[in-house]
Structure 1
Amino acid sequence: MIGIAAPQTILWFQGGWVFWTLSLIMLGMGLTLPIDEFVVALKTPQNVIIGAAAQFAIMPLLGLTIANGLQLPTPYLLGLVLVSTCPGGTASNLVCLLCGANVSLSVLMTTATTLLSVFMTPFLLKVLVGQVVPINAAALMLSTSQIVLLPLAVGIFMQRFVPKLVKAIEVFLPFSSVLGVSAICSSIVAMNRDMLLKSGPKLLLAVLLLHFFGFLLGYLFGRTIGFSEKDSRTVSIEVGMQNSGLGAVLAQLHFANPLTSVPSAISATTHSILGSTLSAFWRLTDRRKQRLAEERENRSGVPTSA
């Protein structure tokens, strides 16, 4: 709301502020990441492979189907398909943390889809809309390492070698993470305020449908193939949340019409709102289940099994 109503108050939060905020959030995740869970995730690479396949199958097909179904103008069609072929966004890792999903699997899926996007994004665009968009593979991998892998590694290192320091600061991490994400989302809205207000209901509906069904089909896919609840939530979030920033940059660099970048700008806000809402819903669901289990335990006097 701040980004729409008073954009000047948050417009300063750009560039390095966003980069370092995301890096610090990932550092905080590394400080609290269950090491054993991460090791288990590495021992089951099939889950990462299946999740990455879902990312590059569900979203691109959704993007093309929705764009054609709503008969979007060509620039918006190209932009929607472009953002749908991008890898999972780094913010998905934080949403997984907040909603009790498998953070380790999320990090591995984000990394895998980011690296695969060097080849998959141009290939899918060529197949779906006949456009080839080259990607700077080295720059993409470097940014992924800087924002995701390096802070996580530092956090895990600190968790292992300075546990007392980690224990002292971990109480502040959930609040600071929420605050950081709120600032990032507000700045994205503020920077794209005019485009958001002028884009029209049809494009807004298209982006909303893309991410809504991305979350839904990602979750249903995970449950259908036998993933656990935590892993299914992870696939849902990874599929539903895209690296919209990458989509916006590619659109600006490789498409002449500036309107092609508008779907990515709207996507950045939309998937953040939907992802946060879904996270809150799952957290409330978990608390309700826990409360009911405790009530049953109190009535029966027998501990309820997890």
Structure 2
Amino acid sequence: MNKIEAFGKWLGKYFTVIVIIWAAFNYLLPATSTWVVPNTSYLLGIILFGMGLTLKGEDFARIVKRPVPVILGTVAHYVIMPFIAWLLCQIFQLSGATAVGVILVGSCPSGTSSSVMAYLAGGDVALDVSIETLSTLLAPIALPGLLLLYAGKYVAIPTQSLFLSTIQIVLVPIILGVVIHSIFGKRIDTITRALPLISQLAILLIIGAVVSANHDGLFTAATALVIPVVMLHNLSGYGLGFLFSKLIRLKDPQRKAITFEVGMQDSSLGATLAMKYFAPAAAIPSTIFSIWHNISGSILSSYWRGRTERKAGTAQQSSSTAPAGR
């Protein structure tokens, strides 16, 4: 188990680079992951089941004890990201499956990578996990409703099917994980140590499947605007999330958590639902988002961590050079 855990940490350290290499490999050899295409919902279920296994009673108690920051962060996520997605579709005149894909990823709950980025940046991880949990639990209602509101003019939105699928794919695995954790407790600690590795491998398989399924249309004139749109979408989410957290006067660690929670999406869920209910091209924005938000999140967390370390170093230096009291 120690070797598995060590490999998981290594994979996590270089995950962004590995994602890019894996996506390029599947683009050059699309047959590699075609077998995964019909199984993406199961892979996502495994990821969310693992999330459920890590949740404890105190995770839900935090939402009850400190509901205001959690609720405001969740509302900010579901207001800012879908609206930005819709606005970018108008500005760049996107339509059809591409527009639906951009709005779909914008309507997804918070991404699981956000808690890692918040931890690395010195953010409030407890608040981050709480917002992630609440936004995920609300996904069966929020996601179909937001798609109907913002993407209904592009394609017919199967709201009832999306609602049921999101319950099956998202809620059922999480609830099952929570129940198993509550029954077995510390006896499953050995399994939970391997969960980061399992989740990362599942995400890689989903990315490979989406790239393989969209091999012919991934780099075409129709999708040329997707990359800048996805980048602007994510960066705008960071910026507005940070601004919102300042407006409600949260402290620095909480601002960092909400910034990541607003700007990072569960792009694996977006890709899975896009391939199941819409054209394969609708999964392209989620795939690009998955790659890009890991890059941008790593850069932002490194910047914040470096700034914190510089401030601590300056404070320590000022303390050591201050004249001694008499």
TM-score range, shorter chain: 0.7 to 0.9
Q: Which amino acid aligns with 1:231?
A: Q
Q: Which amino acid aligns with 2:260?
A: I
For 1:81 and 1:280, locate their aligned partners in 2 and report how far apart those are by CA, in whole Å: 29
Q: Which amino acid aligns with 1:132?
A: I
- What residue number does 2:318 align with? 296
SS in 1 for 2:108: coil
For 1:79 and 1:26, locate their aligned partners in 2 and report how far apart those are by CA, in whole Å: 27
User: What displacement does 1:20 show?
Assistant: 6.7
Q: Does 1:223 align with 2:246?
A: yes
SS in 1 for 2:172: helix
Counterpart pick for 1:111 among 120, 133, 151: 133
TM-score w.r.t. the length of structure 1 is 0.76
- What residue number does 1:96 align with? 118
- What residue number does 1:51 align with? 73
Contact 1:203 1:263 in 2 (8 A): yes
Contact 2:52 2:175 in 1 (8 A): no
Q: Deviations over 1:181-230 (max 9, x none)?
A: 87666656544454655574411001111111111111111011111111
User: What displacement does 1:143 show?
Assistant: 2.6
Counterpart pick for 1:2 among 13, 16, 21: 21
Q: Which moved more, 1:229-238 or 1:196-205?
A: 196-205
What count of residue pairs does the alignment treat as equivalent?
283
- What residue number does 2:172 align with? 142
User: What displacement does 1:133 show?
Assistant: 3.9
Q: Deviations over 1:92-129 (max 9, x none)?
A: 22222222111111111111111212111111111112
Counterpart pick for 2:270 among 234, 247, 255: 247
| Unpaired runs of at least 5, structure 2 | 1-19
Counterpart pick for 1:280 among 302, 317, 320: 302
Contact 1:85 1:124 in 2 (8 A): yes
TM-score w.r.t. the length of structure 2 is 0.71
Aligned CA distance change for structure 1 residues 272 and 146 (closer, same or farther; 3 Å): farther
For 1:152 and 1:24, locate their aligned partners in 2 and report how far apart those are by CA, in whole Å: 10
Aligned CA distance change for structure 1 residues 152 and 269 (closer, same or farther; 3 Å): farther
Contact 1:185 1:272 in 2 (8 A): no
Aligned CA distance change for structure 1 residues 279 and 20 (closer, same or farther; 3 Å): farther
Q: Which amino acid aligns with 1:114?
A: T
For 1:191 and 1:208, locate their aligned partners in 2 and report how far apart those are by CA, in whole Å: 22
For 1:154 and 1:102, locate their aligned partners in 2 and report how far apart those are by CA, in whole Å: 28
For 1:20 and 1:249, locate their aligned partners in 2 and report how far apart those are by CA, in whole Å: 13
Contact 2:73 2:258 in 1 (8 A): yes
Q: Which amino acid aligns with 1:76?
A: T
User: What displacement does 1:287 show?
Assistant: 1.0
- What residue number does 1:236 align with? 259
| Unpaired runs of at least 5, structure 1 | 167-171
For 2:219 and 2:49, locate their aligned partners in 1 and report how far apart those are by CA, in whole Å: 30
